[in-house]
């Protein structure tokens, strides 16, 4: 009995491995790095990820924010510089100066307060701006397409019948249709907070604009593709 159960489990695992997993088309990536600027980075303020208002689905926003928190935590373990949140910076300001700081406010308000104090406590500011995260569509009008097929014909040659494939040209009407696209665009930036520098240290723009044809007719979920693009950008951010 146990042998049969074990064999069944192995068979299910074998079938699972044979099933093709959904693959993502490679996004377009453009980045910039100031090597000299990166050498001066010891502490970094991490701003909350910004999501455009056009992203109305809360599940997408939640997936993006969750992934950002995970990526920041993972980067902290490998980076030679220290990553701190707006709340941590404000708490440091309060303990250093004794000033009253409102921390029971919105995430945006916390970020705004921390940004104004950033030059005093950190060397750079890290931000991720989601520019686009949606599906797009292009309407194609109906059109005639040339079609080439082959037809079997029998011919008598040298005392026997020979089968030949003769080309047959035809035209068929392709009805109007809508081609859907993944439309994701984001930019990761690391800026110096020092007035004498105040320059871009690193940036990475990741763009995914692929037709459903690249995914065999079925587009991936935005809750999957957006975090994947975020991971690509964060992975390219230098750790020292």
- Res 20 pLDDT > 60: no
DSSP structural state of residue 1: -
Determine the pLDDT at residue 19. 38
Are 198 and 38 contacting, i.e. CB atoms less than 8 angstroms apart? no
Q: Which pair of structure tokens corresponds to residue 161?
A: 């019948």
Q: Lowest mean pLDDT: which of 9-13, 48-52, 155-159?
A: 9-13
Name residues whose C-beta falls within 8 Å of residue 213's C-beta, 6 or more positions apart in sequence: 179
pLDDT bucket at 217, cuts 50 / 70 / 90: confident
Q: How many residues does the chain have?
A: 240
Determine the pLDDT at residue 169. 86
Give the CB-side neighbour count of residue 124, counting CA atoms within 13 A.
Answer: 25
Residue % of the chain over a pLDDT of 70 = 88
- Res 194 pLDDT > 70: yes
- Classify burial at 50, counting beta carbons within 10 Å of its beta carbon; exposed 0-12, middle 13-18, buried 19 or more: middle
pTM across the whole model: 0.76
Determine the pLDDT at residue 59. 95
Determine the pLDDT at residue 43. 97
pLDDT mean across residues, the chain: 86
Of 145, 186, 143, give the one whose Cα is nearest residue 52: 186
Name residues whose C-beta falls within 8 Å of residue 191's C-beta, 6 or more positions apart in sequence: 124, 125, 127, 198, 199, 200, 201
Mean pLDDT, range 178-201, rounded to an integer: 89
Condensed to tens digits (0 to 9), the pLDDT of residues 104-124 reads 788 889 999 999 999 999 999
Mean pLDDT, range 198-211, rounded to an integer: 92
- Cα–Cα distance between 7 and 70 in angstroms, integer? 38
- Cα–Cα distance between 98 and 92 in angstroms, integer? 9
Strand runs (DSSP E) across 34-99, as ranges?
43-46, 82-84
Determine the pLDDT at residue 58. 94
Q: In what order do the strands lie in the sheet with 28-33?
A: 28-33, 200-211, 177-192, 124-140, 43-46, 82-84
Residue ranges and CATH numbers for the domains of the chain are 25-138+183-236 (3.40.50), 143-173 (no CATH)
> Could you tell me the CA-to-CA distances from 173 to 144, 170, 176 in Å, in that order?
4, 10, 9
Q: Which pair of structure tokens corresponds to residue 27?
A: 């996004």
């Amino acid at each position: 009995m146990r042998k049969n159960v074990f064999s069944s489990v192995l068979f299910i695992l074998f079938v699972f491995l044979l099933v093709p997993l959904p693959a993502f088309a490679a996004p377009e990536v453009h980045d910039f790095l100031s090597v000299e600027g990166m050498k001066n980075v010891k502490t970094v303020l991490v701003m909350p990820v910004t999501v455009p208002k056009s992203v109305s689905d809360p599940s997408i926003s939640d997936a993006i924010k969750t992934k950002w928190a995970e990526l920041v935590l993972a980067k902290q373990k490998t980076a030679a510089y220290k990553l701190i949140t707006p709340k941590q910076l404000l708490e440091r300001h309060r303990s250093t100066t004794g000033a009253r700081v409102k921390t029971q406010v919105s995430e945006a308000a916390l970020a705004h307060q921390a940004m104004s104090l950033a030059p005093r406590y950190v060397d750079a500011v890290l931000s991720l701006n989601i520019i686009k995260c949606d599906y797009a569509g292009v309407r194609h009008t109906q059109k005639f397409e040339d079609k080439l097929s082959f037809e079997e014909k029998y011919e008598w040659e040298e005392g026997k019948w020979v089968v030949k494939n003769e080309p047959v040209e035809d035209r068929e009407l392709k009805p109007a249709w809508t081609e859907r696209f993944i439309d994701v665009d984001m930019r990761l930036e690391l800026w110096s907070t020092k007035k004498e520098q105040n320059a871009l240290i690193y940036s990475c723009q990741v763009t995914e604009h692929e037709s459903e044809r690249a995914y065999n007719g079925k587009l991936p979920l935005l809750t999957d593709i957006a975090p994947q693009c975020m991971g690509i950008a964060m992975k390219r951010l230098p750790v020292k």
